Structure 1
């Protein structure tokens, strides 16, 4: 039986010293909210803490961290079925792409209030190869190499814009991935510079890769930047988000990607490498506490 109002905050270890969040937790406890806190050390901790939250009867599990932390908590909740606690989010990462896209406050105090007291909405998740999840976006190609290779010191100094700057510094490594992509009434084959598969809209620190994506429409937005006119297309799309003839777009409930060589996709910050990927949307997979002005709801 769920304990009305009870919540468990799963906090990425990097954010454990956030004094504003510590004060916000204390203030909610003084209001009478049953709020437990757990800190992650390594991959797998979040899933174990989600299981503990269920044992405690918590109504809400709050992910405090970046997109990777949110991904791990959301994936664990999706595997629990209809009785899973709702997801709350406190953005404490470098890019915070999903939280920003949902208009979740960046202030730890405001985000915590929303995570505990906000309205509950059914949202979609995406599943990859039957065992991996993403809540925001899967990116492949040059954009993935940028987000996985950006130095930690650059992230710490500049935040989300660090991905953009590092991308400009690495344009000499520009290389397309040859692959075939199929889905319902959709087929494409060629060289892709950037592949975005969005449940959410932005990745890489604020780049609107899938600007029409929604998190409750039962669809994923596929966006391909093909390799023709590599440098001009990349710069126009990255800086101005301009449409051009080298961008292919489709909305699909599922898609399959096959490549003759290993490709790496970044699933909310977690890399996954292989030659074949099946990506499908899971409609209404979890519940999430979101603000009334969330732009990702249809």
Structure 2
């Protein structure tokens, strides 16, 4: 193990007390890996720690948390000059860990830490929204976005990813479509969408595989639009294994797309909300590097 390559590990405060994670860090330190740990308390801490990582000349920045934490760190990395940009490592410590699960990041802490620090670095895409916001995994709109935003923290703590689905069942009375128009290269659709998924990764909302063919290094986003009013079977199919040929789902693969609506819509970017009436979403190919397992299904 390279004793001179510093790793700055940025942990979401909610997961910082994980005993098996502490043990794993101590094990790698004994093997000679220099690891500095920082803990976030509020939004903005992640970006500040990434700047500190550059000052420390860290070669790897590890995001320890859920999709929101990974989003914050990846966004901060994308804003750096390429010559000084550390590699991203991931440790799944969140509720759903949708991106980490899709990418095949180990759940066992020592394996996850080892991969995050010494795994092979691979260039991956990010998606940029309206020139200022980013997502590494998925943007979701419509009913799915509302459920992700509204699911109570206690339910998420108790049940993990399936909490989104269970909460969705209790809110079927709020089911309504968003009237909108989507366009991209050789693609145009206008109508009422119950759920919109724009995937760099494959799943969101605690395991819903909205974009089952998405790849994170192909320079494209996978678009999925659920148009059917029979949303319950559609979501059930996605939870229990995927229904890639569902006729009520419109799919496309695009390097960019624009979305307009006559009313305000909200998209969750890796769980972080963004509201508006117009969105331009584009891929930034290979803009950051990430340490991923050799068997990662998200790589082309």
What range is the shorter-chain TM-score in? over 0.9
Q: In the alignment, which residue of structure 2 is the partner of 1:63?
A: 63
Q: In the alignment, which residue of structure 1 is the partner of 2:72?
A: 72
CA deviation after TM superposition for structure 1 residue 241, in Å:
2.8
| 2:21 maps to 1:32 | no
In 2, Cα distance between equivalents of 1:297 and 1:234: 25
Q: In the alignment, which residue of structure 1 is the partner of 2:246?
A: 244
Q: In the alignment, which residue of structure 1 is the partner of 2:166?
A: 165
236-245 vs 182-191, which moves further = 236-245
Q: In the alignment, which residue of structure 2 is the partner of 1:22?
A: 22
CA deviation after TM superposition for structure 1 residue 200, in Å:
0.3
Pair 1:140–1:247, CA change in 2 (3 A): same
The alignment partner of 1:207 has SS state of coil
Q: In the alignment, which residue of structure 2 is the partner of 1:174?
A: 175
| 2:120 maps to 1:119 | yes
| 2:267 maps to 1:265 | yes
CA contact (8 A) 2:4 2:34 kept: no
Cα displacement string for residues 149-188 of structure 1 (whole angstroms, at most 9, x for unaligned residues)? 1111111111111111111111111110000001011110
| 2:198 maps to 1:209 | no
In 2, Cα distance between equivalents of 1:106 and 1:259: 40
Pair 1:16–1:229, CA change in 2 (3 A): closer
CA deviation after TM superposition for structure 1 residue 32, in Å:
1.7
In 2, Cα distance between equivalents of 1:151 and 1:62: 27
In 2, Cα distance between equivalents of 1:195 and 1:137: 10
Relative to total residues, which structure has the larger strand share, 1 or 2? 1
The TM-score normalised by the length of structure 2 is 0.95
The alignment partner of 2:11 has SS state of strand
Cα displacement string for residues 236-295 of structure 1 (whole angstroms, at most 9, x for unaligned residues)? 555553232221000000000000111000000100111110000000010000001100
The alignment partner of 2:61 has SS state of strand
In 1, Cα distance between equivalents of 2:81 and 2:124: 13
In 2, Cα distance between equivalents of 1:289 and 1:101: 14
Q: Give structure 2 stretches of 5+ with no counterpart.
A: none
- Across the aligned residues of Structure 1 and Structure 2, the Cα RMSD in angstroms comes to 1.4
| 2:103 maps to 1:87 | no
CA deviation after TM superposition for structure 1 residue 231, in Å:
4.9
Q: In the alignment, which residue of structure 1 is the partner of 2:133?
A: 132
The alignment partner of 2:107 has SS state of coil
Pair 1:59–1:231, CA change in 2 (3 A): closer
The alignment partner of 2:82 has SS state of coil
Q: In the alignment, which residue of structure 1 is the partner of 2:293?
A: 291
Q: In the alignment, which residue of structure 1 is the partner of 2:199?
A: 198
The TM-score normalised by the length of structure 1 is 0.96
Q: In the alignment, which residue of structure 2 is the partner of 1:226?
A: 227
Moved over 3 A (4+): 227-240
The alignment partner of 1:203 has SS state of coil
CA deviation after TM superposition for structure 1 residue 235, in Å:
4.6
In 2, Cα distance between equivalents of 1:227 and 1:191: 9
Pair 1:53–1:258, CA change in 2 (3 A): same
